[in-house]
């Protein structure tokens, strides 16, 4: 029977390629995911290992205590220790003709332990310093140039550094350290003595102590000796490791996050595998259905059921093996490509491709198993073909079987039960209850897809009526094999539901967060404190701010008096009537007798004191928790506006004017963050001094946008696989209907009508799947957001109509594309050819 | 009852106008090199309007090929073809399609009907394809004559073979085409049902003036025709007027079929 399977594969290569494509994509995704983790570890190992590649043993600090001079003494004094390098690192300011900056000054190692790679010049000696290539380029430094180094203090201005600093000569340019802890900052290197002299008091910390073994010493013995010596010196938890072990340890501490990333990616790979299994199972079923006569003939001439099953499974194994191999190779190729690109970037030069055997093996095994498991049901169907079927004309109507009923019953039970649990989770705002409920109900729905997908396709199919005969036929053909249509649509439904769920969840979370922000921040943007030059903000700042695109209004809010709030003296701000509009909460009003206080002030009355007198005012609480006490400018004038106190006064900081800005509502997050940078530059303040609801909203939106993009991208793999499924089903159906297509052509259906008929059929299936997916996704997304956020925010469903419409549009277009190849094949057939193949 | 002569064929040769269908100098080859088959060799043929013509000949003689070319289902290598006075040589695929829809009817040996459509939908399919309107009276007359009135809502797999062929005949007649083609329309039917379908074709020719061209192997079927055209080895080799079974058998025997 293997012979039969091989003949099948040879004869119908194209059909099996279609099956394989879905497997290739899912296996590729899975393998690439597994390689991400290994490659991250390899890259980190490569970079971290480089920093102690010449040492025999490395001492690193324990949880209890940092390494310092006494640890160094303990190591140096221990028996069997050769050369020792205590790795020091201190913050330092450096200045050259090109300007000043902060950097990390490290000491060089004794010759045997040195791991710096010189690109130019020599390692630093007395009065010399080496810099990394990146910094040298930025600062325009080359060997022989002068560089001023000074201990870090306040502002970094070239003239300050020059005044306080020590002049050194650049002796050499070294390769930037591959140490991920070091990569972001300028790296400078000096001799041990000079480093300690320049870095000053704060330099006792040792990053690690690396050392060689004395001639003839035994690694394990020295390790024990040094460990004991360190314990005696008061470092019981310090560890002594070989360089290789130490690398592993650091990598492990760094890749905790990478593991989580892998788990998340694996979840998406799992979705892709599930969809792929559905597509494979469905395609195999169609292939079997089309071979009914042939299988029956085999049974007629004496093949038993087992042989038929084996033949089908053999096909599945062969397809599984070849597709999995291609998938794994594809994943390796993809990762190699990405790593090569990363290696070209200076910051990720150390990127290393790792192809762990487990990734390859898991990819292959999962791919083959999935294909075979997916083929089990079709194989069973193949064994049920009666020998007599060879003699009977293929019969259109098929009765439902009992196994189908069991599946429907289980599916319904799961769907209803899961939905109840999900609703419970949403009501009690508990994601841990909602999540399993949601998953169960979704699985249940998928299991009884045959109940609702075909009727929906038929219903939507009536929309195709105006397209005339092709439309009518497309609607009928789309549900000709309800099982096949349901399986095809289900594969697509999964991906679309997840995408729509993420979109709705994100949008709902955004809206909920917006509500929270309104309560937290009184204004869109508030700019506080002093400019970089140390001056308070003044009226010119408001004038500057309104000139920027995206700023709707801006006003300087100044001190209007002081009050005792729960025993502490607080500055009270005055608000001119036109400035009231700057507040987020437009319902707030201020009159001659009220003071606005933040939420939770627990006060009824507050006495505000100005320069001329004081007044008792009624407290009105705002929703915001961070609103400063506010009085109207009329009241402030009545009690006398105080002068701005002197800079050393206690009242200074609570009296400084603030600039309040309201921004255009339609500003997107990128534009807003950009505006913040522009404002910071224009007002001469640091970006962190500009805060407020708009910034938080922008930052949050940005995170959500990026997450959504990534998740959608990952789910796109599953959607793509499902579309391969749509194309598969359609092309097999086209093959099956060759005679019918020819007949229609003979009777006057034009080529383009034939093509549009198939296109409509694909669009119907894809469109209905996307429609159901979008609706389900919206519901799941809302309930999910409610379960996750309901405990600390009011969650109102917010459906991202535009995004969901876009998903629908993509599905429809993709359906069209999926029909292109099958339709072209069908149209190529001349009417006579089809009639000949009786 | 006369055996054919070259003259009589040439006499029927087309100016196109009077015939339901006609060809001149039609050539068609299949394949290349060793497997090259000259399926039609310079065929000049005319088929009178309002007449029932049968095409006969040994297997592989080119009957189906001729019919496919005549019906615009296939294109010839050279030569001209007319349908109801219109030359169809060199028409584009979509023009041919339109022509088939409106001016030609078909009854095939098997697989005549679209399985997803009801009998009624199958019958009106060419008209729906042309976005035309069904002539209600004509429809009920045709379906009643064919005895299909209470089978119209059935799908093909709920109909017997004979009923399916009758549905195909109804479909072919409904558009009142210039010519109805049949390729062994009774090949799959038992002799009684076959006779039924043939009489229907015969009646539609006599009563409705429908032109019919039918390919058949069966001398009994051919005897329903007004004229039998004989083919051998890709060429027209004779014809019989008002034939009966015996003359047909005799003529075929001469061809060695
Ligand atoms: N698609 C094709 N490719 C190659 N050769 C073909 C093709 N169709 C027909 N032929 C050849 O052309 C010749 C005429 O075929 P055609 O089908 O017209 O014969 P026929 O008279 O209808 O025969 P039958 O009575 O058996 O149906 C035959 O020799 C046949 O082998
Ligand atoms: Mg034939």
Residues of B in contact with A396 (CB under 8 A): 115, 155, 157
B51 touches A at CB < 8 Å: no
Q: Which residues pair with B229 in a beta bridge?
A: B55, B239
Element spanning A563, H or E: strand A551-565
pLDDT for A158 equals 60
Query: Tokens 């760094």 map to which residue?
Result: A254
In A743-802, the residues whose Cβ lies within 8 Å of chain B are 743-753
Question: Do residue A473 and residue B93 have CB atoms under 8 angstroms apart?
Answer: no
A62-74 average pLDDT score: 82
Interchain CB distance below 8 Å, A832 and B155: no
Q: Report which of residues A91 and B82 the model is more confident about.
A: B82
Confidence of residue A595 (pLDDT cuts 50, 70, 90): confident
Determine the pLDDT at residue B7.
36
What residue spans of chain B are helical by DSSP H? 6-12, 63-70, 93-103, 119-129, 136-145, 161-174, 191-208, 219-222, 245-255
Q: Please indicate whether, in this complex, the C-beta atoms of B94 and A739 are within 8 angstroms of each other.
A: no
Indicate if ligand 1 lies below 6 Å from the C-beta of B30. Answer: yes
pLDDT of res. A166: 80
Q: Cβ contact (<8 Å) for A751 and B94?
A: yes
**A748 and B101 in contact by Cβ < 8 A?**
yes
CB pairs below 8 Å between A and B: how many?
A: 74
Which of A469, A477, A745 has the CB atom closest to B128's CB atom? A469
pLDDT above 90: residue A441: yes
Q: Does the pLDDT value for residue A165 go beyond 80?
A: no
Torsion of CA B208, B210, B215, B221, to 10 degrees: 20
- Two structure tokens written together for A301: 């001439």
CB within 8 Å: A397 and B129: no
Locate tokens 């055997």: which residue?
A357
Flag if A751 and B110 touch (Cβ within 8 Å): no
For residues A579-586, average pLDDT: 77
* Average pLDDT rounded to a whole number, residues A737-748: 85
* Probe target for ligand 1 pocket from B41, B45, B63, B181, with the most ligand atoms within 8 Å of CB: B63
For residue A502, give the 3-state DSSP assignment: helix
Q: pLDDT band for A838, please (50, 70, 90 cuts).
A: very low
The token duo for A131 is: 């810099």
Residue B234, min C-alpha distance to chain A (Å): 18
Cβ of B232 closer than 6 Å to ligand 1, yes or no, is no
B61 touches ligand 1 (CB under 6 Å): yes
Q: What is the pLDDT of residue A143?
A: 87
Q: Within 13 Å and on the Cβ side, how many CA atoms surround A560?
A: 25
Partner residue opposite A831 with nearest CB, options B73, B113, B131: B73
Residue A208: predicted pLDDT: 84
Closest residue, chain A, to B66 (C-alpha): A832
Q: Which of B219, B222, B223, B256 is nearest to B237 (CA)?
A: B256
Identify which has the larger pLDDT, A500 or A43.
A500
**Is there an atom of ligand 1 within 6 Å of B32 CB?**
no
Collect all residues of chain B within an 8 Å Cβ-Cβ radius of residue A480: 116
The domains located in chain B, with CATH, are 7-255 (3.40.50.300)
Quote the pLDDT of residue A456.
92
Does B65 contact ligand 1 (Cβ within 6 A)?
Answer: yes
Distance of residue B205 Cα from the nearest chain A Cα, in angstroms:
21
Q: Which of B27, B28, B30 to mutate to test the pocket of ligand 1 (most atoms within 8 A of CB)?
A: B30
Averaged over successive runs of 10 residues, the pLDDT of chain B (257 residues) comes to: 39 54 90 84 90 91 89 87 86 83 84 83 86 89 87 88 88 89 84 85 88 91 92 90 87 76
Those residues whose C-beta lies under 8 Å from the C-beta of residue A665, and which sit 6 or more positions away, are none
pLDDT digits (tens, 9 = 90+) for A540-563: 888 888 888 888 888 888 888 888
Q: Give residue B257's pLDDT.
A: 52
Whether chain A has a CB inside 8 Å of the CB on B133: the answer is no
Q: Which of A468, A480, A750 sits opposite B116 (nearest CB)?
A: A480
Pairing mode of beta strands B104-107, B179-183: parallel
What is d(CA B239, CA A832) in angstroms, rounded to the nearest whole number? 26
Residue A671 in this model has a pLDDT that exceeds 60? yes
A747 and B129: CB-CB below 8 Å?
A: yes
Verify whether ligand 1 is closer than 6 Å to residue B90 (CB atom). Answer: no
Q: Find the A750 Cα to ligand 1 centroid distance in Å.
A: 25
Question: Chain B: residue nearest A469 by CA?
Answer: B129
Of B97, B116, B128, the CB nearest to A468: B128
Task: Name the pLDDT band for A251 (thresholds 50, 70, 90).
Answer: confident
**Interchain contact A832–B (C-beta under 8 A):** yes
Q: How confident is the model at residue A257 (pLDDT cuts 50, 70, 90)?
A: low
For residue A81, what pLDDT is reported? 85
3 state SS of B110: coil
The reported pLDDT for the residue numbered B9 is 40
The predicted pLDDT at position A203 comes to: 67
The predicted pLDDT at position A398 comes to 42
pLDDT, residue A479, reads 86
Domain ranges in chain A?
1-56+259-395, 57-254, 414-447, 450-521+693-838, 524-692
What is the phi/psi pair of residue A509, to 5°?
-65, -40
CB contact under 8 A, A747 and B101: yes
The stretch A340-344 carries a mean pLDDT of 85
Percent of the residues in chain A that have a pLDDT greater than 90, as a whole number: 11
In 3D space, the residue among A139, A161, A158 whose CA is nearest the CA of residue A150 turns out to be: A161
Interface touch A468/B129, C-beta < 8 Å: yes
Q: Could you tell me whether strands A81-96 and A128-132 are parallel, antiparallel, or unpaired per DSSP bridges?
A: unpaired
In terms of CA atoms, which chain A residue is nearest residue B121? A469
Give the integer Cα–Cα distance in Å for A187 and A132: 6
Residue range A295-299: mean pLDDT, rounded = 74
**Cβ-nearest to B73 among A396, A468, A832:** A832
- Give just the sign of the alpha carbon dihedral A675, A677, A682, A686: positive
Q: DSSP class of residue A523?
A: B
Ligand number nearest CA of B28 is 1
Distance B64 CA to ligand 2 centre (A): 4
Closest atom of ligand 1 to A833 CA is 1
Structure tokens at B24: 């001149």
pLDDT exceeds 60 at position A391: no
Q: Which of A739, A749, A751 sits opposite B111 (nearest CB)?
A: A739
Query: How far A820 CA sits from the closest chain B CA (Å)?
Result: 19
CA distance A275 to chain B (A): 30
Of B100, B111, B157, the CB nearest to A748: B100
What are the chain B neighbours of A477 within 8 Å (beta carbons)? 116
Residue A418: CB partners within 8 Å, gap ≥ 6? Answer: A436, A437, A438, A439, A440, A441, A442, A443, A444
User: A741 CB near a chain B CB, below 8 Å?
Assistant: no
Contacts for A833-836: CB closer than 8 Å, 24+ residues apart: A833/A742, A834/A738, A834/A739, A834/A741, A834/A742, A834/A743, A834/A745, A835/A739, A835/A742, A835/A743, A835/A746, A835/B73, A835/B108, A835/B111
Q: Does A464 touch chain B (CB under 8 A)?
A: no
Which band of pLDDT confidence, cut at 50, 70 and 90, is reported for residue A182? low
Is B126 in the A-facing interface, judged by CB distances under 8 Å?
yes
Q: Residues of A with CB below 8 A from B114's CB?
A: 473, 740, 743-744
Average pLDDT value over all residues in chain A: 82
Q: Distance (Å, rounded) from C-alpha A193 to C-alpha A107? A: 8
Q: Which of A605-609, A653-657, B217-221 has the highest mean pLDDT?
A: B217-221
- Which region, left, alpha or beta, applies to residue A603 given φ > 0 means left and ψ of -120 to 50 means alpha? beta
- Picking from A270, A289, A323, the residue whose alpha carbon sits closest to that of residue A729 is A289
| Distance (Å) from CA B58 to ligand 1 centroid | 11
The helix (H) or strand (E) run that includes residue A482 is: helix A482-520
Q: Kindly give, in sequence order, each residue whose CB lies less than 8 Å from that of residue A115, ignoring residues fewer than 6 positions away.
A: A50, A51, A52, A53, A54, A109
The pLDDT value given to residue A667: 75
Confidence check: pLDDT of A106 > 80: yes
Residue from B39, B88, B116, B159 whose CB has the most chain A CBs within 10 Å, to mutate: B116
How many whole angstroms separate alpha carbon A609 and alpha carbon A453? 72
Helix (H, G, I), strand (E, B) or coil at B234: coil
Pocket test for ligand 1, best of B29, B55, B57, B61 (most atoms within 8 A of CB): B61
pLDDT at position B2, please? 40
Question: pLDDT digits over A11-30, tens only?
Answer: 777 777 878 888 998 899 88
pLDDT digits (tens, 9 = 90+) for A494-525: 889 988 988 898 888 888 877 777 767 778 88
**Residue B31 CB less than 6 A away from ligand 1:** yes
Across the range A430-444, mean pLDDT stands at 88
């Amino acid at each position: 029977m293997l012979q039969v399977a091989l003949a099948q594969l040879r004869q119908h290569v194209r059909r099996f390629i279609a099956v394989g494509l879905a497997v290739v994509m899912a296996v590729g995704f899975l393998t690439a995911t597994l390689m991400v983790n290994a490659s991250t570890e390899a890259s980190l190992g490569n970079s971290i290992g480089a920093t102690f590649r010449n040492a025999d043993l490395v001492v690193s600090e324990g949880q209890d205590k940092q390494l310092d001079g006494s640890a160094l003494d303990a190591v140096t004094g221990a028996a069997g220790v050769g050369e020792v390098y205590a790795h020091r690192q201190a913050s330092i300011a450096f200045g050259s003709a090109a300007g000043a900056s902060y950097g990390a000054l490290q000491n060089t190692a004794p010759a045997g332990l040195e791991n710096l790679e010189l690109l130019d010049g020599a390692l630093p000696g007395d009065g010399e310093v080496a810099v990394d290539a990146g910094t040298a380029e930025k600062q325009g430094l080359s060997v022989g140039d002068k560089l001023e180094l000074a201990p870090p203090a306040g502002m970094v201005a070239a003239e300050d550094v020059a005044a306080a600093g020590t002049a050194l000569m650049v002796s050499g340019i070294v390769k930037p350290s591959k140490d991920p802890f070091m990569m972001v900052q300028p790296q400078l290197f000096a001799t041990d003595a000079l480093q300690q002299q320049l870095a000053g008091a704060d330099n006792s910390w040792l990053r690690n102590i690396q050392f060689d073994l004395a001639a003839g010493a035994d690694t394990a013995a020295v390790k024990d000796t040094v460990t004991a010596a360190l314990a005696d010196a008061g470092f019981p938890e310090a560890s002594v490791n070989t360089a290789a072990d130490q690398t592993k340890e650091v990598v492990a501490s760094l890749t905790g996050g990478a593991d989580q990333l892998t788990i998340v990616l694996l979840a998406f790979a799992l979705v892709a595998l599930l969809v792929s299994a559905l597509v494979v199972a469905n395609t195999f079923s169609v292939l079997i259905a089309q071979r009914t006569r042939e299988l029956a003939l085999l049974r007629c001439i004496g093949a038993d059921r087992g042989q038929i099953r084996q033949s089908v499974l053999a096909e599945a194994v062969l397809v599984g093996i070849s597709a999995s191999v291609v998938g794994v190779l594809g994943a390796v190729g993809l990762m190699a490509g990405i790593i090569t690109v990363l290696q070209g970037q200076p910051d990720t030069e150390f990127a290393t491709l790792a192809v762990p055997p487990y990734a390859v093996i898991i990819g292959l095994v999962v791919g083959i198993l999935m294909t075979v498991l997916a083929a089990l049901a079709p194989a069973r169907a193949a064994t049920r073909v009666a020998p007599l079927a060879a003699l009977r004309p293929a019969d259109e109507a098929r009765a439902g079987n009992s196994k189908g009923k069991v599946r429907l019953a289980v599916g319904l039970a799961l769907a209803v039960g899961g939905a109840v649990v999900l609703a419970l989770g949403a009501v009690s705002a508990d994601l841990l209850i909602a999540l399993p409920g949601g998953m169960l109900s979704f699985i249940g729905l998928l299991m009884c897809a045959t109940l609702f997908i075909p009727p929906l396709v038929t219903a939507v199919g009536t929309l195709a009526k105006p397209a005339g005969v092709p439309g009518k036929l497309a609607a009928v053909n789309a549900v000709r094999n309800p099982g096949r249509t349901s399986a095809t649509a289900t594969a697509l439904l999964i991906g679309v539901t997840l995408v729509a769920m993420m979109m709705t969840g994100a949008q709902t979370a955004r809206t909920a967060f917006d509500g929270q922000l309104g309560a937290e921040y009184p204004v869109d943007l508030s700019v506080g404190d002093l400019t970089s030059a140390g001056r308070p903000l003044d009226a010119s700042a408001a004038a500057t701010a309104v000139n920027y695109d995206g700023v709707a209004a801006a006003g300087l809010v100044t001190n209007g008096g002081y009050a005792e709030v729960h025993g502490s003296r607080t500055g009270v701000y005055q608000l001119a009537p036109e400035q009231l509009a700057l507040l987020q909460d437009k319902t707030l009003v201020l009159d001659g007798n009220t003071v606005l206080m933040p939420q939770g002030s627990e006060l009824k009355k507050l006495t505000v004191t100005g320069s001329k007198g004081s007044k008792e005012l009624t407290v009105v609480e705002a929703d915001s928790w961070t609103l400063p006490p506010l009085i109207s400018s009329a009241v402030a004038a009545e009690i006398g506006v105080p002068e701005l106190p002197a800079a050393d006064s206690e009242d200074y900081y609570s009296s400084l004017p603030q600039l309040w800005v309201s921004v255009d509502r339609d500003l997107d997050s990128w534009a807003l963050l950009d505006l913040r940078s522009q404002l910071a530059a224009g007002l001469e303040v640091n970006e962190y001094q500009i805060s407020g609801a708009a910034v938080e909203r922008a930052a949050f939106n940005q995170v959500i946008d990026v997450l959504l993009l990534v998740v959608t991208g990952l789910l796109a793999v599953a959607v793509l696989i499902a579309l391969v499924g749509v194309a598969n089903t359609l092309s097999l159906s086209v093959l099956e209907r060759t005679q019918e297509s020819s007949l229609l052509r003979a009777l006057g259906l034009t080529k383009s009508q034939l093509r549009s008929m198939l296109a409509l059929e694909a669009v119907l299936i894809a469109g209905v799947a996307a429609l159901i997916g979008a609706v389900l996704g919206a519901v799941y997304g809302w309930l999910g957001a409610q379960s996750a956020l309901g405990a600390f925010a009011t969650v109102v469903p917010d459906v991202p109509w535009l995004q969901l419409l876009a998903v629908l549009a993509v599905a429809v277009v993709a359906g069209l594309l999926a029909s292109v190849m099958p339709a072209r094949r069908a149209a190529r057939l001349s009417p006579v050819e089809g009639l000949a193949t009786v | 009852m006369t055996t054919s002569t070259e003259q009589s064929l040439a006499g029927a040769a087309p100016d196109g106008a009077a015939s339901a269908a006609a060809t001149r100098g039609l050539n068609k080859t299949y394949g290349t090199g060793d497997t090259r088959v000259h399926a039609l060799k310079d065929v000049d043929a005319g088929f009178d309007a309002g007449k029932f013509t049968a095409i006969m000949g040994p297997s592989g003689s080119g009957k189906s090929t001729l019919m496919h070319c005549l019906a615009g289902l296939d294109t010839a290598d050279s030569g001209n073809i007319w349908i109801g006075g219109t030359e169809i040589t060199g028409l584009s695929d979509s023009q041919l399609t339109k022509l088939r829809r409106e001016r030609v009817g078909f009854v095939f040996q098997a697989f005549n009907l679209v399985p997803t459509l009801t009998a009624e939908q199958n019958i009106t399919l060419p008209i729906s394809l042309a976005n035309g309107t069904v002539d209600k009276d004509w429809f009920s007359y045709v379906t009643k004559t064919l005895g299909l009135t209470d089978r119209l809502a059935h799908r093909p797999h709920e109909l017997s073979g004979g009923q399916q062929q009758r549905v195909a005949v109804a479909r072919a007649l409904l558009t009142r085409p210039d010519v109805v083609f049949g390729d062994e329309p009774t090949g799959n039917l038992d002799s009684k049902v076959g006779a039924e379908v043939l009489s229907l074709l015969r009646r539609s020719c006599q009563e409705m003036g429908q032109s019919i061209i039918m390919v058949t192997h069966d001398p009994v079927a051919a005897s329903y025709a007004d004229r039998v055209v004989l083919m051998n080895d890709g060429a027209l080799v004779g014809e019989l007027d008002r034939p009966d079974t015996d003359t047909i058998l005799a003529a075929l025997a001469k061809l060695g079929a």
